[in-house]
């Protein structure tokens, strides 16, 4: 396992002249509002800890004012922490001398913001190459590299245009290209797509996901939009009033929201779309028995044990050979019925279709074909009513 790209430990930021009292209040459980009412200090971030792993897209999500941008500025040290620390590649950012900070930000942490402030009098190519220019890369090389990233974001034909000749969405891609051109080991994107209309936003998300499939960068992505977070996040940290209230994969957060604040983000969103067979399967609902050339009724009866109607039959590598059912108990050698397996990552809609069409529960298998659980009609109904609510 690689060591994490970013480690954040007990990070706090209190804006104001006397943060000590605020920190003490926070440690005793006070909220951001309590602290402001009593001390006039503003809590930006409180006691935040997490790791960002190499190659993942880590999303910070939360309402406006919850501390996302402050947290990011603490990470690239545009803001000094009141307490706690940040390690990048194992190195404490606080120990980086001022003189190296600018280079560190430029090389190792490319920032993409909501508004890119493209330079209107420069071509798209020159804008995309700007980060490299600042870093002192020669003209020929920076234009070659900028051209490569313009190709990646689908803007190569527009290289010689001026920003004003491009649509808003395309301008946003130029900003993305500029950030990518310096080949940063960490990309920080603060609400980078938030100003775009939903269609353009989705398009940019796709551009990013596409690039990510090829290059696997470490990306810290801020969003206040749960659907965006779900689509692109490897993991999501949800922030409220300066604190992180939950960290998990999109599936973990959907299936197990920490509190009502987290749940409120799901309102009006069909979260079931993000679930897969693995999220709704049960691991011990269907009894299992070893496959043998001659299945005998007594071992089936023992496996079903009076209560179950079906049992899956597995070989020694935990691959499904079929199922037996209670109806067959009357015969001396019960029939082994064929059954189709469902891959763990199968999306809910496909699962629903197949479960509804099947009499027996369906086995769920890992990518290597080994058995990991089962889904039946009740599991599907539960998840649909829980996640789609009145939309069903």
Ligand X SMILES: Nc1ncnc2c1ncn2[C@@H]1O[C@H](COP(=O)(O)OP(=O)(O)O)[C@@H](O)[C@H]1O
The residue whose Cβ lies closest to Mg ion is 69
Q: Which does 70 bind (CB under 5 to 8 A by kind): ligand X, Mg ion, none?
A: ligand X
With CB under 6 A as the rule, give the number of residues binding ligand X.
11
- Asked if 195 touches ligand X (CB under 6 A), the answer is no
Binder of residue 373, out of Mg ion, ligand X, none (CB less than 5 to 8 A by kind): none
| Cβ pair 45, 119 in contact under 8 A | no
Per CB under 6 A, contacts with ligand X among 39-98 are 42, 44, 62, 64-70
Q: Which residues of 196-223 are buried (b: 16+ CB within 10 A; e: fewer)?
A: beeebbebbbebbeebbeeeebbbbbbb
CA 356 to chain centre: 30
Residues 263-302 that bind ligand X (CB under 6 A): none
19 contributes a contact to ligand X by CB under 6 A: no
**Residue number with CB closer to Mg ion (25 or 186):** 186
For position 69 contacting Mg ion by CB under 5 A, the verdict is yes
Looking at the Cβ atoms of 221 and 312, the one nearer to Mg ion is: 221
> Can residue 261 be called a binding residue for ligand X (CB under 6 A)?
no
Residue 237 CB, shortest distance to Mg ion, in Å, is 14
Q: How far is the CB of 386 from ligand X (least distance, A)?
A: 29
Q: Contacts with ligand X in 221-260 (CB under 6 A)?
A: none
| Per-residue tokens: 302 | 């023992």
Q: Give the interface segment with Mg ion, choosing from 67-75, 86-94, 106-114, 233-241 (CB under 5 A).
A: 67-75
Angle at 55 between CA 50 and CA 60, to 5 degrees: 40
Give the interface segment with Mg ion, choosing from 65-73, 279-287, 332-340, 361-369 (CB under 5 A): 65-73
Residue whose CB is less far from Mg ion, 116 or 371: 116
User: CA–CA distance from 191 to each of 85, 168, 228, 256 (Å)?
Assistant: 24, 15, 10, 25
Rule CB under 5 A: which residues touch Mg ion? 69
Residues contributing to the site for ligand X (CB under 6 A): 15, 42, 44, 62, 64-70
């Amino acid at each position: 396992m690689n060591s994490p790209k970013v480690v954040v430990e007990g990070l706090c930021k209190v804006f104001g002249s006397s943060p000590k009292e605020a920190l003490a209040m926070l440690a005793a459980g006070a909220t951001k509002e309590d602290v402001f009412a009593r001390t006039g200090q503003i809590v930006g971030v409180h006691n935040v800890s997490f790791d960002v792993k190499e190659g993942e897209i880590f999303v910070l999500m939360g309402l406006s004012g919850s501390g996302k941008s402050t947290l990011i500025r603490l990470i690239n040290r545009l803001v000094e922490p009141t307490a706690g620390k940040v390690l990048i590649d194992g190195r404490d950012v606080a120990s980086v001398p001022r003189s190296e900070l600018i280079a560190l930000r430029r090389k190792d942490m490319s920032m993409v913001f909501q508004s890119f402030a493209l330079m209107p009098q420069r071509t798209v190519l020159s804008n995309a190459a700007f980060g490299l220019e600042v870093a002192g890369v020669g003209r020929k090389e920076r234009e070659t590299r900028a051209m490569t990233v313009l190709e990646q974001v689908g803007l190569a034909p527009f290289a010689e245009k001026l920003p004003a000749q491009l649509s808003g969405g395309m301008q946003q891609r130029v900003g993305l290209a500029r950030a990518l051109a310096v080949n940063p080991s960490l990309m920080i994107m603060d609400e980078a797509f938030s100003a775009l209309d939903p269609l353009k936003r989705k398009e940019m998300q796709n551009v990013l996901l596409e690039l990510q499939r090829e290059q696997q960068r470490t990306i810290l992505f801020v969003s206040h939009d749960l659907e965006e977070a779900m689509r692109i996040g490897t993991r999501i940290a949800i922030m409220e009033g300066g604190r992180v209230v939950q960290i998990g994969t999109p599936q973990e957060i959907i299936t197990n929201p920490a509190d009502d604040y987290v749940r409120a983000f799901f309102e009006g969103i069909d979260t079931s779309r993000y679930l897969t067979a693995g999220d709704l399967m049960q691991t011990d609902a269907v009894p299992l028995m070893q496959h043998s050339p001659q299945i005998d009724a007594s071992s089936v009866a023992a496996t079903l044990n009076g209560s179950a109607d079906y049992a899956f039959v597995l070989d020694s590598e935990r691959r499904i050979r079929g199922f037996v059912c209670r109806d067959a108990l009357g015969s001396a050698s019960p029939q082994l019925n064929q059954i189709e397996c469902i891959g763990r990552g199968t999306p809910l809609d496909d699962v629903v279709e197949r479960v509804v069409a099947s009499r027996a529960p369906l086995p769920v298998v890992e990518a290597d074909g080994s058995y990991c659980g089962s889904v039946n009609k009740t599991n599907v109904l539960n998840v649909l009513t829980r996640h789609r609510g009145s939309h069903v």
